[in-house]
C-alpha cells in the first residue's frame, strides 16, 4: 500500500502572503491576467459550476490518477484554511471526481475552493453547499479509490502549457481561472488595482463622448 504521507509535500514551499491574498479579493481574473503580462491562464474549459462562485487563495496542487479521486480526499486534509485545491486528473475528464460530500468536507475545513481539470457531479447540491467549485463540466460517472494508484500533493503540476506551483496565487470567477506565480503576486496585484482605476477612468471618458479609437490611439 502506498503511504500518502510520502507523496504529500508539506515543506519546501511558501504560500502567497495573506495580506496579498486579501488585496487580491475582488480582482477579476481577466484584469489579473492582463496586468501580469497575459500570464497564468488555466485551461479555458475550466469554469465555475455555478456563475456566482469566486475564489482567491494559495494553490495546493494535486495530481490524481485517471478516474480516481482518492488524492482529492487526501488533499482536503493536507490543505490549510483558505487554500485552493488545484487538481489535475491525468487527462481523464469523463468522471465525477467531486460532489456534495467532498464539497461539504472542504467547506468544513474552511478551504478556499477547488479548481479541477476534470468533471464533477451533484450540480444542485453543490449550489446548496456553496463551496466554490471550478471544473470542466458535469459527469455522473463514478471514480475509484485505489490505494495503490500513484498521485501526489504539492508538487509543480502541468495544466496544458501552464505549470502551477504550490503556493501560487489562484483567482477564479465567471471568466475563468488565473494562477499567478507566488514571487510575482504582490507586483501583479498592485498592477491589477492600478489597471482597474485606469479602466474606470476610461469608461467615464467614453460616457462623456470620447471613443476607444481616440483613447487608445487606434485611429
- The span from the CA of 10 to the CA of 14, in Å, is 10
Q: How many domains does the chain have?
A: 1
How large is the average pLDDT for residues 70-92? 96
Q: How far is residue 56 from each of residues 32, 98, 170, 203, 211, measured CA to CA in Å? A: 12, 19, 6, 26, 34
Q: Average pLDDT over the chain, rounded to whole?
A: 95
How large is the average pLDDT for residues 57-61? 98
DSSP helix/strand/coil, 193: helix
Q: What is the pLDDT of residues 14-46, one digit of tens each?
A: 999 999 999 999 999 999 999 999 999 999 999
Residue 203 belongs to a domain with what CATH number? 3.50.30.40
Query: Could you tell me which of 168, 141, 179 has the C-alpha nearest to residue 43?
Result: 179
Domain that holds residue 44: 4-215
Q: How far is residue 98 from each of residues 46, 68, 74, 116, 118, measured CA to CA in Å? A: 14, 10, 13, 9, 9
8 A C-beta contact, residue 97 and residue 120: yes
- The span from the CA of 153 to the CA of 64, in Å, is 9
Q: What is the pLDDT of residues 105-150, one digit of tens each?
A: 999 999 999 999 999 999 999 999 999 999 999 999 999 999 999 8
Amino acid at each position: 500500500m502506498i503511504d500518502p504521507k510520502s507523496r504529500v509535500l508539506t515543506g519546501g514551499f511558501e504560500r502567497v502572503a495573506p495580506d496579498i491574498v486579501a488585496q487580491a479579493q475582488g480582482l477579476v481574473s481577466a484584469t489579473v491576467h492582463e496586468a501580469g503580462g497575459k500570464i497564468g491562464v488555466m485551461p479555458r474549459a475550466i469554469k465555475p459550476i455555478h456563475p456566482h462562485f469566486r475564489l482567491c487563495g494559495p494553490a495546493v496542487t494535486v495530481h490524481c490518477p485517471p478516474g480516481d479521486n482518492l488524492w482529492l480526499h487526501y488533499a482536503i486534509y493536507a490543505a490549510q484554511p483558505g487554500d485552493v485545491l488545484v487538481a489535475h486528473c491525468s487527462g481523464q475528464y469523463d468522471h465525477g471526481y467531486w460532489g456534495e460530500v467532498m464539497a461539504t468536507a472542504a467547506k468544513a475545513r474552511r478551504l478556499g475552493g477547488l479548481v479541477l481539470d476534470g468533471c464533477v457531479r451533484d450540480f444542485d447540491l453543490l449550489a446548496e453547499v456553496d463551496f466554490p467549485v471550478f471544473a470542466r463540466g458535469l459527469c455522473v460517472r463514478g471514480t475509484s479509490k485505489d490505494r495503490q494508484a500513484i498521485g501526489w500533493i504539492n508538487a509543480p503540476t502541468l495544466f496544458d502549457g501552464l505549470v502551477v506551483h504550490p503556493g501560487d496565487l489562484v483567482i477564479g470567477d465567471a471568466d475563468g481561472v488565473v494562477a499567478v506565480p507566488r514571487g510575482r503576486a504582490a507586483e501583479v496585484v498592485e498592477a491589477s488595482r492600478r489597471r482597474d482605476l485606469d479602466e474606470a477612468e476610461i469608461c467615464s471618458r467614453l460616457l462623456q463622448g470620447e471613443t476607444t479609437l481616440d483613447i487608445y490611439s487606434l485611429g
